[in-house]
Structure 1
Amino acid sequence: METTARDFTRNASKYPAAAERGERITVTRNGRPVAVLSPVTEESVPDHPADPMGDDDIPVFHSGSRTC
């Protein structure tokens, strides 16, 4: 579901009810998304990634002598 910031303000009570039913609401201002209201799930979501991200072949940089 998508709504404008103005409509979100005018009808603020209906959007938490929609999120509670499982809907995800994107709030836009001047056609650009500015916020998302989504349902709370029982799944635990970490505040930061717990595992390394990206490839396993991460370059290692050493300080000291430089070779080209």
Structure 2
Amino acid sequence: METTAREFNQNASKILAAAERGERITVTKNGRPVAILSPVSGTDAPVSPYPTDPMGEDPDAPVFHSESPVDWSAGRGDYLEGFGA
């Protein structure tokens, strides 16, 4: 089976289902092959874990909140310093 990158983007679940059924899919972009999807061989292939929330868990990620409410009465200038403002 062959599909374009645009078709893959619009119908990813159907195309992945075809791969799951055993089909090998070539994805093309501007008429040239850029990727090949193929089924995972064997039924006992390990499934890698995936995050349960959209961003995943990362204990080292910075936390962007303040313990006390921010007083915006003086404007946003000082708070936006360093963010290109």
Q: TM-score normalized by structure 1?
A: 0.60
In the alignment of these two chains, the number of paired residues is 42
Q: Percent identity?
A: 79
Match of 1:28 in 2: 28
Paired residue secondary structure (1:22): coil
Match of 1:37 in 2: 37
Are 2:3 and 1:14 aligned? no
Gap regions ≥5 residues in structure 2: 43-85
- Which stretches of structure 1, 4 residues or more, deviate above 4 A after TM superposition? none
Over the aligned positions, Cα root-mean-square deviation in angstroms equals 0.5
Which protein has the larger Cα radius of gyration, Structure 1 or Structure 2? 2
Higher strand share: 1
Q: Which has the higher contact order (CA 8 A, sep 6+)?
A: 1
State the 1:15 CA deviation.
1.0
Gap regions ≥5 residues in structure 1: 43-68
Cα offsets for 1:6-57 (capped at 9, x unmatched): 0000011101100111000000000000001100002xxxxxxxxxxxxxxx
Paired residue secondary structure (1:34): strand
Q: TM-score normalized by structure 2?
A: 0.48
